[in-house]
Amino acid sequence: MNDQKTGAKFALIIGLPTGLAFCLMALSLSEFYPFAYLLRIASLKIFWNPLIWIIIAATVTVALWQSGKVIAPSLKKRDALQTSFYFTFLVNIKLLLIMAAIYFGGMINDWLFNTREIFLAAIPYSILIMILFFAFATVVLSLTVSLVIVQLTKRRLGASSETIVLEVEPIEVENEG
């Protein structure tokens, strides 16, 4: 098995169900009044569109696969914990970019079609909240799910790279002659 594909496969097998569970949790939290109110303030009516959740699930899948390919080369340069942080950072930055694009797309859409300038005041706070959540998710996921992915990849790479070396000692033959 290719070293890069090993990390990518473990990232999908372990990370995809976890990522999709977090997406479902975020969707269910958006139904509670405080979160629904914040989404309305941010004019993210687009958040409940099923197409957006398909885009997010596809982004999670692609981010895990691409970032999983980095695990094996990273393990050669770093220890498992540093590789875990690096892997999680790569996945989360891709998710942050797609979420920011969705958020700002919704903000621009609301501003253009509803001309509510008051919503533009929410942008700095929204950016701050996204960055704080990004940092929190990176630390928590690096120490949990990503560390498991990295350790399994490391173990699989260690098992596949072991070679059997036979050492044969010469036998002395007495010369009868």
Question: pTM, whole model, 2 decimals?
Answer: 0.74
Please report whether residue 140 resides in a domain: yes
When mean pLDDT is compared across 18-22, 137-141, 154-158, 169-173, the lowest value belongs to 169-173
Q: Length of the chain in residues, anyone?
A: 177
Domain assignment of residue 116, yes or no: yes
Across 166-172, average pLDDT: 58
Helix, strand or coil for residue 131? helix
Across the range 92-120, mean pLDDT stands at 75
Residue with tokens 């990522």: 19
Is 70 exceeded by the pLDDT of residue 1? no
The band of 168, judged by pLDDT with boundaries at 50, 70 and 90, is low
Q: Do the domain assignments include residue 78?
A: yes
| Cα–Cα separations (whole angstroms), residue 110 to 26, 105, 115, 117, 126 | 22, 9, 7, 9, 15
Whether 92 is covered by a domain: the verdict is: yes
Residue 162 lies in a domain: no
Token pair 């590789």 in the structure block, residue: 83
Please state whether 8 falls in left (phi above 0), alpha (psi between -120 and 50) or beta.
alpha
For 112, the domain range is 3-157
Total structural domains within the chain: 1
